[in-house]
């Protein structure tokens, strides 16, 4: 892949956009798109070349997610989480774990998901409450994860659990077929991002060998803040930047196509022109900040963390503001769902509360800018 953004845009136009409305209306996971993501090599974007992947990093991750989100926010979000989970294996997985999972991704089109959030800790997902009982050759787990995106469709789920080292956590891989895993599928009824298949995952006496632990004992927090955070938060910046850009396309095209009896269009009205310009400014700014943050993160720049946090906040806020203005441009057509504006606005509202929430991120940004520890 030489131009990841453009290749992803072209892919999305053919294999993602045709299903976007359906997955929202039916609250259906984008199975068709994910099958093609595997067939066309996008699931192995971050897999190292020596394992048959493309060996790409944070910048390409951001570009692909952004391009997908310009067609479907839901598909982009689920794909983003796969990449985040995969990068934990890339950076901390044992050779045995890498061979097992990478071969399944590359050869079989399997994908990963995150099972981090819990009912008791909410947006502070790095403080797991599930129980981990250590019994020599294996560890037994009990508990519930609250909102597991791609539930039942992903083949591997990353789970944070307490370590034997007090105050530390581990990052584990739970294969879908593991005995003791069950999903409460009827629990998902999202306002937006309706195809995410996010629901509780119940963990009942799940026993795993140490080979399914990612990294050294107690290294989970390091993975969360050095790997998960930059790829997840940057990925969310891409999701909502892409959503905002999608809103611009919808609103601007409608304003030109909507004709009056005298032949003039909606776009000839100055107020509409101002709205279209504002939507574009907000969306373009979010996109630019997100891609700049990804580059800073990939280069290890001193201000990379602050840029990544700021990009995520700006993108999620921009998507909501763009949606509000796009609804005004669309008027009754948008409100009556003749345009996809209403769906995009619902998708955008997820950005405020998705962990880490906008409120938490604003605190973290202040800490990062003043040299304080996060969290």
Same domain, 135 and 190: yes
Q: What is the mean pLDDT of residues 115-121?
A: 88
Q: Give the pLDDT confidence score for residue 63 in this predicted structure.
A: 98
Please report whether residue 345 resides in a domain.
yes
pLDDT in tens, 163-216: 999 999 999 999 999 999 999 988 889 999 999 999 999 999 999 999 999 999
Domain enclosing residue 47, as ranges: 4-111
- For the purposes of burial, counting CB atoms within 10 Å of the CB of 271, is it exposed (0-12), middle (13-18) or buried (19 or more)? exposed
Q: Residue 198 — left, alpha, or beta (φ > 0 → left; ψ -120 to 50 → alpha)?
A: beta
The answer to whether the CB of 111 falls within 8 A of the CB of 233 is no
How does pLDDT run across 322-369, given as a tens digit for each residue?
Answer: 999 999 999 999 999 999 999 999 999 999 988 888 999 999 999 999
Same domain, 247 and 363: yes
User: Could you tell me if 100 and 119 lie in one domain?
Assistant: no
Which of 79, 111, 143 is at the close of a domain? 111
Compute φ and ψ for 303, nearest 5 degrees: -100, 15
Phi, psi angles (nearest 5°) of residue 202: -90, 135
Q: What are phi and psi of 241, to 5 degrees?
A: -65, -45
Q: Is residue 346 part of a domain?
A: yes
Provide the pLDDT confidence category of residue 142 given band limits of 50, 70 and 90.
Answer: very high
- Asked whether residue 40 is domain-assigned, the answer is yes
The CA–CA distances, whole Å, from 352 to 140, 292, 348 equal 35, 21, 8
d(CA 295, CA 82): 20
Q: Are residues 251 and 120 in the same domain?
A: no
Based on the domain organization, do 144 and 94 belong to the same domain? no
Residue 310 resides in a domain: yes
Residue 123, pLDDT above cutoff 70: no
Write 290-294 long-range contacts (CB < 8 A, 24+): 290/62, 290/66, 290/234, 290/237, 290/238, 290/241, 290/315, 291/59, 291/62, 291/63, 291/66, 293/62, 293/234, 293/237, 294/58, 294/59, 294/61, 294/62, 294/63, 294/234, 294/238
Domain boundary residue, one of 183, 218, 253? 218
CB atoms within 10 A of CB 318: 29
Looking at the structure, do residues 179 and 307 belong to the same domain, yes or no? no
Of 191, 218, 245, at which residue does a domain stop?
A: 218
Whether 170 and 197 map to the same domain: the answer is: yes
Residues 6+ apart with CB under 8 A from 359: none
Same domain? 211 vs 231: no
In this predicted structure, the answer to whether residue 218 has a pLDDT above a threshold of 80 is yes
pLDDT on residue 120: 80
Domain assignment of residue 175, yes or no: yes
Q: Does 374 fall in a domain?
A: no
133 compared with 187, residue with greater pLDDT: 133
Q: How do residues 19-71 score in pLDDT, each as one tens digit?
A: 999 999 999 999 999 999 999 999 999 999 999 999 999 999 999 999 999 99
Residues 79 and 144 in one domain: no
What are the tokens at 318? 């921009």
**Residue 306 shares a structural domain with residue 325:** yes
- Mean pLDDT, the chain, rounded, equals 96
Burial of 168 (C-beta count, 10 Å sphere; 0-12/13-18/19+): middle
* pLDDT surpassing 90 at residue 275: yes
Q: Residue 342's pLDDT is what? A: 96
Find the range with the poorest average confidence among 112-116, 125-129, 154-158, 303-307. 125-129
> In this structure, what CATH number is given to the domain that contains residue 132?
2.40.110.10
Together in a domain, 205 and 229: no
| pLDDT greater than 80 at residue 103 | yes
pLDDT > 90: percent of the chain: 92
Would you say residue 375 lies in a domain?
A: no
Interatomic CA distance for residues 109 and 137, integer angstroms: 31
Give 101's pLDDT tier (boundaries 50, 70, 90).
very high
Q: Are residues 19 and 32 in the same domain?
A: yes
259 found inside a domain: yes
How many structural domains comprise the chain?
3
Instruction: State residue 122's pLDDT score.
Output: 67
- Residues 303-316: what's their mean pLDDT? 98
């Amino acid at each position: 892949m030489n131009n990841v953004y453009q290749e992803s845009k072209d892919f999305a136009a053919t294999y993602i956009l045709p299903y976007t409305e359906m997955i929202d209306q039916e609250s259906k996971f984008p199975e068709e798109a994910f099958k093609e993501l595997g067939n066309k090599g996008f699931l192995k974007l971050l897999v190292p070349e020596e394992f048959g992947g493309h060996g790409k990093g944070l910048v390409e991750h951001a570009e692909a997610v952004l391009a997908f989100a310009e067609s479907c926010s839901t598909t982009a979000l689920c794909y983003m989480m796969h990449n985040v989970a995969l990068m934990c294996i890339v950076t901390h997985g044992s050779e045995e774990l890498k061979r097992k999972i990478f071969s399944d991704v590359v050869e079989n089109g399997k994908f990963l998901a995150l099972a981090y959030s819990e009912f008791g800790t909410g947006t502070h997902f790095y403080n797991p409450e599930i129980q981990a009982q250590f019994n020599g050759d294996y560890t037994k787990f009990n508990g519930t994860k609250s909102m597991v995106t791609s539930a039942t469709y992903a083949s591997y789920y990353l789970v944070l659990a307490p370590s034997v080292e007090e105050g530390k956590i581990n990052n584990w891989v739970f294969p879908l077929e593991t005995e003791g895993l069950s999903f409460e599928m009827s629990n998902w009824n999202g306002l937006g991002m309706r195809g995410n298949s996010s629901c509780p995952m119940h963990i009942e006496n799940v026993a795993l060998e140490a080979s399914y632990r990612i990294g050294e004992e107690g290294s989970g927090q390091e993975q969360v803040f050095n790997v998960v955070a930059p790829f997840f938060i940057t990925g969310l910046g891409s999701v909502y930047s892409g959503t905002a850009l999608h809103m611009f396309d919808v609103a601007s095209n409608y304003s030109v196509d909507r004709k009056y009896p005298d032949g003039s269009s909606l776009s000839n009205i100055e107020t509409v022109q101002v709205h279209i310009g504002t939507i574009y400014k907000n969306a373009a700014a979010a996109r630019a900040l997100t891609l700049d943050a990804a580059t800073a993160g990939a280069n290890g720049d001193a201000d990379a963390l602050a840029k990544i946090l700021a990009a995520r906040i700006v993108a999620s806020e921009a998507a909501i503001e763009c949606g509000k203005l796009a609804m005004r441009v669309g008027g009754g057509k948008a409100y009556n769902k003749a345009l996809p504006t209403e769906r995009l606005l619902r998708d955008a509202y997820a950005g405020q509360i998705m962990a880490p929430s906008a409120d938490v991120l604003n605190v973290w940004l202040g800490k990062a800018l003043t040299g304080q520890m996060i969290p």
